[in-house]
Amino acid sequence: MIITPIEVHQSEQAKEVILSGFLERFGFIDHALNPDIHDISTEYDGTQHHFFVGKENENIICTGAIRKKSEDTYEIVRMSVLAPYRKRGLGRIMLENLQDKARSLGARRLVLETNKQWADAITFYKNNGFIYMEEDDVSCYFEKEIPL
């Protein structure tokens, strides 16, 4: 898999990767809940928010993004791997890429949230060094200090 910053012409395909994961998890898609993926290249313009795609043979199979929360903290969002490509370590590779990018931008801490019903995602983040912080009715929240 080759990971690159998203290009404008890839936005629709990246959006479909994300939405396919939502459809798989929830059985439906509520487009109103995800305004940041309506125009990915504008929302994630590479200044404070950065979006990456993982490709095999020019097909986008994985996505991930970071959003600046404060001077030293970035939030990981939009992690998704197409179902046929899972269990190959691609999510871990994308996560490492996001961490490296955040570090290069001066981040010392990463945060993220995931649905508390998604046991596999929770295990994935714990196995990759994220510390469970809290939860609410819907989500679990994690953080990780970025090593220098």
Q: Can you give the pLDDT at residue 20?
A: 83
User: Judging by beta carbons within 10 Å of its beta carbon (0-12, 13-18, 19+), is residue 14 exposed, middle or buried?
Assistant: buried
**Residues of the chain above pLDDT 90, percent:** 70
| 8 A C-beta contact, residue 103 and residue 146 | yes
Q: Indicate whether 117 pLDDT > 90.
A: no
Nearest residue to 49 via CA among 38, 41, 57, 58: 41
Q: What is the pLDDT of residue 118?
A: 86
Least reliable range by pLDDT among 12-21, 45-54, 69-78: 12-21
pTM: 0.91
Q: Which residues contact 77 (CB under 8 A, 6 or more apart)?
A: 36, 64, 65, 66, 67, 112
Element (H, E) at 42: helix 40-43
Domain boundaries, the chain: 2-145
pLDDT of res. 34: 81
Architecture of domain 2-145: 3-Layer(aba) Sandwich (3.40)
Does residue 74 contact residue 67 with C-beta atoms inside 8 Å?
A: yes
Q: Can you tell me the distance from the alpha carbon of 146 to that of 100, in angstroms, rounded to the nearest whole number? A: 9
Dump pLDDT digits (tens) for 23-41: 676 666 776 778 888 889 8
- Answer yes or no: are the C-beta atoms of 51 and 10 closer than 8 Å: no
